Amino acid sequence: MFGFKYDTENKWHRLGRLLLIMAASLLTFVYVWWILAIIINTPAIPTPDLVWAAMIKLFNEGDIQTGLSMWDHMAASLKRFLGGFALAFGVAVPLGLLIGYSRFLDEFSRPVLEFLKPIAPIAWAPVFIFATTLTIGPILVVFVGIFFPLLYNTIFGVKKIEPSLTDAAKTLGAKERQVFYKVMLPCTTPYIMNGMRIGFGIGWMCIVAAEMIAPLGGGLGYFISLQSTLSNWPYVFVGLGVISVLGILTTGLVDYAYRLMAKRMGIE
Partner 1 sequence: MSYIELNNIRKVFKKDDKETVAIDDISLHIEKEELVSILGPSGCGKTTVLRMIAGLVEPTSGEVFVDGTKVVAPGSDRGMVFQDFALFPWRSVRKNIEFGLEVNGVPKEERTARVDKYLEIVGLEKFADARVHELSGGMKQRVGIARALVNHPKVVLMDEPFGALDAQTRNIMQAGLIKILDKTDQTIVFVTHSVDEAVFLSDRIVILTKRPARIKDVIEIPWPRPRDRASPEFTALRKRILTELEQENVMDQGAPADKPPKLTGGLLNRIRHRDRPDSETGDK
> Can you give the binding site for partner 1, defined by CB under 8 A?
162, 164-165, 167-175, 178, 182-183, 186-187, 189, 264-267
Closer to partner 1 by Cβ: residue 77 or 188: 188
What's the CA gap between 155 and 100, in Å, rounded? 5
What's the CA gap between 154 and 204, in Å, rounded? 20
User: At closest approach, how far in Å is the CB of 188 from partner 1?
Assistant: 11
- Region of residue 165 (phi > 0: left; psi between -120 and 50: alpha; otherwise: beta): alpha
Closer to partner 1 by Cβ: residue 98 or 165: 165
User: At closest approach, how far in Å is the CB of 175 from partner 1?
Assistant: 7
Closer to partner 1 by Cβ: residue 55 or 169: 169
User: At closest approach, how far in Å is the CB of 67 from partner 1?
Assistant: 49
What's the CA gap between 75 and 128, in Å, rounded? 22
Closer to partner 1 by Cβ: residue 93 or 246: 93
Phi, psi torsion values for 91, nearest 5 degrees: -95, -50
Positions of E strands within the chain: none
User: At closest approach, how far in Å is the CB of 180 from partner 1?
Assistant: 12
Closer to partner 1 by Cβ: residue 134 or 174: 174
Q: Are 158 and 97 in contact (CB under 8 A)?
A: yes
What's the CA gap between 207 and 146, in Å, rounded? 11
User: At closest approach, how far in Å is the CB of 166 from partner 1?
Assistant: 9
Q: Are 154 and 188 in contact (CB under 8 A)?
A: yes
Alpha-carbon torsion (248, 251, 253, 257), positive or negative: negative
Closer to partner 1 by Cβ: residue 42 or 171: 171
User: At closest approach, how far in Å is the CB of 254 from partner 1?
Assistant: 18
